[in-house]
Amino acid sequence: MGYETLAVDCRDGVLTVQLNRPEAGNAINARLVAELGQVVAQCEAADGPSVLVLSGSAEVFCAGGDFQATAATDVPEDPEPLYDLWLRLATGPFISLAVVRGRVNAGGVGMVAACDIVLADSTASFGLSEMLFGLFPACVLPFLIRRVGAQRAHYLTLTTQPVGAAQALAWGLVDAVEDPVEGLLRRYLVRLRRLGKPAIGRYKRYMADVSRPLAEAKPAALAANRALFGDPQIRADIRRYVTEMKFPWEG
C-alpha cells in the first residue's frame, strides 16, 4: 500500500512507521490521521504485527496540528478521528512504541503520550504551544495526564515552554533516553518481539478496563476542541500567524 504521509516497513513482527511530511514538520493533517489509522488496523488484526514503532525525523518528531490546513478553510477539522487514533494506540492489542528525536509540539505530544513505550535521544524536546493562540490542548490532555499527572500537564499547558529529554524522563513522559536512540530501540525489540500477540491483547484490554478515564474523557475533549477551533477570533489569529508569522499579541 502506498502512503503520502508515512514511510512504512514491516518485518519480523514489527511494523515501523515514520511520519513523512518534512515540508510541514510532520504536522498532523486529515490524510496523516487516515493513513496512520490504516497502519494501526494492520496491528489490530489477529495475525498482524505485535509491535508498532512510530518515529519522525532527526529534527522533528511532530510539530502538532497543521496550521496551514486550518487557515485554508472556515470549517474546523473534526477532532474525533485523531482522538480515536490515539485511543487505539493506547488500548489496541499490540505494543505501540514511539522513538523520539528532535522537537515534539502540541498534537505531537498527544501522539507520543498515547504510546505504550516512549524512547528518546538527548535532542528530544516536548512542548504545548496551544495557549499562545487562545487554544488549549483539549484532546492531548487526557493522554498526557495519564503519563505525567494533572499538575505537570497543567504546567506544560500554561507555560508553553518545552522541556528537554531529561526532564521528560524524570516526569514519565519518556521511558528511556540514550544516544543514539536506535541502539536502545534494538535492545527493546529483542524482548518485545518475544511477547505473544494474544497475551498482549489480553493485557491491554485489562489495562483499558482499569484506565477508563481515556474513554470517559473523550466527549469533553471533543466538545472543547470543536468550540476552540470554531471560534472566529482564534481562526483569524491562526490565519494571521500562517500568513504574517505574528502571534496574536503582536501589533
CA distance 104 to 63: 6
Find the distance separating the first CA and the last CA of the chain, reported in whole Å. Answer: 48
Residues classed as catalytic: 66, 130
**Any idea what the Cα angle at residue 120 is, between residues 136 and 131, rounded to 5°?**
10
Q: Cα–Cα distance between 103 and 123 in angstroms, integer?
A: 8
| Partners of 8 in beta bridges | 17
- Please state, in angstroms and rounded to a whole number, the distance separating the CA atoms of residues 160 and 120: 21
Contacting residues for 179 by C-beta, under 8 A, at least 6 apart: 121, 122
Structure-block grid coordinates of residue 152? 505537570
